[in-house]
Amino acid sequence: MPVSASSARTAARSLSVDEALDRILARVRPLAPVSLALLDALGTVLAEDVVADRDVPPFRNSAMDGYAVRGVDVAIAPVTLRVTGEIAAGSTPTGSVRSGEAMRIMTGAPMPDGADTVVRVEDTDNRTDVVTITAATKPGTSVRAAGEDLQRGETILRTGTVLRAAELGVLATLGRMTARVVPAARVAVLSTGDELVELDAPLGPGQIRDANRYSLASAARAMGATPIPLGIVRDTADDLRRALRDAAARADVIVTSGGVSVGDHDHVKPVVDELGSMDFWSIAIRPGRPLAFGEIDGALIFGLPGNPVSSLLGFELFVRPALLKMAGRRLLHRPRVTATLDDTLDTPPGLRFFARGVYDPQAGTVRTTGPQGSGILRSMALANVFIDVPETIQHLDRGATVTVIRTDQPEDH
């Protein structure tokens, strides 16, 4: 690919991807904690230390369906014991187990006094008047001690923990209705462009469907943020002003696509300058060179380019880490691995190139998804990784070692 003097000069004045991300992250703070009902808290980050205020389980209980006995009575089998009662889960035992006796007991039922062992039903003849134990059982077998899971006073979960299913189960077990967490960011998504139409509208001359609303809102949802799709905004300063004010009132973050180039109808920059503040960056990247970043009424705004590949890549590289930081996450960056290129690849000089790739973790190889134009959204749909090619490289042969960003995996650093 020929190097034109002007593109090299532009690239030299551009921000690198890392500089842009550093500037963005320096402006981002975690959202203020709120109390959320447990079922609304999945994927959020805990903003309190959780101390067990009780033992779990709260009482000694049986780990098996079987017979509660004295361990000394079942050290040698077979042995026959008198059955004096039955204890179901949720009931309270009456009486205690004495020498030569047994009580039928169900999993989770409280252990009766006197008993220290449960013989599982499979090791008995399963009778209700007298029972024959057919396998010798060690004292203490199949009994769960009170507090064996969580002990009262113990710190069970710490600030910063991401609440997954298991952590929410722990909170439920402690009787917690709510948890103090960093909430999911609300992300307003706006598509700018006079050429855009709704999905169900017939396509007139020069019109295309609004793909970015769906890809960007879904990218936000996929990471646990709350997308607020606000539709299409026409390329007029008035429309944009109205839409951005509305978005700033409802969201923590505004993501726009389109209108950040220097075309005649690119209004994002002047309107945001009027309503708030915005930096307008040329980033040494392909695809997705222009990126605007600023603030309106306390909401952060990311102005992504309109090309569907560029906007989704911009979301992945810049918006996603910012939203993760806002959500209180500590791991902001996807795993990076090296792979052997199973293709040749020509990339532009002076620009960091993110090729869409198909990575085979078993083979350790990666190939591109085919044509890599910024309007070819199919290249994203087919990909499971980005191939991250530095500014200094212009050509890669088959067999070259490349760095791959695993967008199919959660952040690991």
Residues that bind Mg ion (CB under 5 A): 193, 258-259, 306
Least separation in angstroms between residue 197's CB and ligand AMP is: 10
- DSSP one-letter string for 265-331: T--HHHHHHHHSEEEEEEBSEES--EEEEEEETTEEEEEE-SSHHHHHHHIIIIIHHHHHHHTT-S-
305 binds, among ligand AMP, Mg ion, none (CB under 5 to 8 A by kind): ligand AMP
Residue 170 or residue 190: which is nearer to ligand AMP going by CB? 190
Report d(CA 314, CA 358) in Å as an integer. Answer: 19
Residue 59 or residue 280: which is nearer to ligand AMP going by CB? 280
132 binds, among ligand AMP, Mg ion, none (CB under 5 to 8 A by kind): none
Residue 356 or residue 406: which is nearer to ligand AMP going by CB? 356
Residue 112 or residue 259: which is nearer to Mg ion going by CB? 259
Taking CB atoms, the residue at the shortest distance from ligand AMP is 306
- List contacts with ligand AMP (CB under 6 A): 191, 193, 195-196, 208, 210-212, 257-259, 261, 263, 305-308
Report d(CA 323, CA 224) in Å as an integer. Answer: 9
Least separation in angstroms between residue 311's CB and ligand AMP is: 7
Residue 306 or residue 348: which is nearer to Mg ion going by CB? 306
For 379, residues 6+ apart whose C-beta sits below 8 A from its C-beta are 309, 356, 368, 369, 370, 371, 372, 373
The answer to whether 399 and 340 are in contact (CB under 8 A) is yes
Q: Which of 144, 79, 76, 72 is nearest to 105 (CA)?
A: 144
308 binds, among Mg ion, ligand AMP, none (CB under 5 to 8 A by kind): ligand AMP
Residue 66 or residue 348: which is nearer to ligand AMP going by CB? 348
Residue 161 or residue 191: which is nearer to ligand AMP going by CB? 191
Q: Which of 270, 265, 312, 321 is nearest to 292 (CA)?
A: 270
407 binds, among Mg ion, ligand AMP, none (CB under 5 to 8 A by kind): none
95 binds, among Mg ion, ligand AMP, none (CB under 5 to 8 A by kind): none
E strand or H helix that includes residue 228: strand 226-233
Least separation in angstroms between residue 232's CB and ligand AMP is: 7
For 21, residues 6+ apart whose C-beta sits below 8 A from its C-beta are 317, 318, 321
For 22, residues 6+ apart whose C-beta sits below 8 A from its C-beta are none
Helix axes 237-250, 268-275, angle to 10 degrees: 50
Residue 33 or residue 306: which is nearer to Mg ion going by CB? 306
- DSSP one-letter string for 355-412: EEEEEETTTTEEEE-S---TT-THHHHT-SEEEEE-TT--EE-TT-EEEEE-TTS---
Report d(CA 119, CA 121) in Å as an integer. Answer: 6
Least separation in angstroms between residue 386's CB and ligand AMP is: 20
Least separation in angstroms between residue 258's CB and Mg ion is: 4
Residue 181 or residue 291: which is nearer to Mg ion going by CB? 291
Least separation in angstroms between residue 278's CB and ligand AMP is: 15
Tokens found for residue 82:
């008198």
Least separation in angstroms between residue 267's CB and ligand AMP is: 10
Counting beta carbons within 10 angstroms of the beta carbon of residue 29, is it exposed (0 to 12), middle (13 to 18) or buried (19 or more)?
exposed
Least separation in angstroms between residue 195's CB and ligand AMP is: 5
Least separation in angstroms between residue 49's CB and Mg ion is: 48
Q: Which of 358, 355, 343, 350 is nearest to 393 (CA)?
A: 350
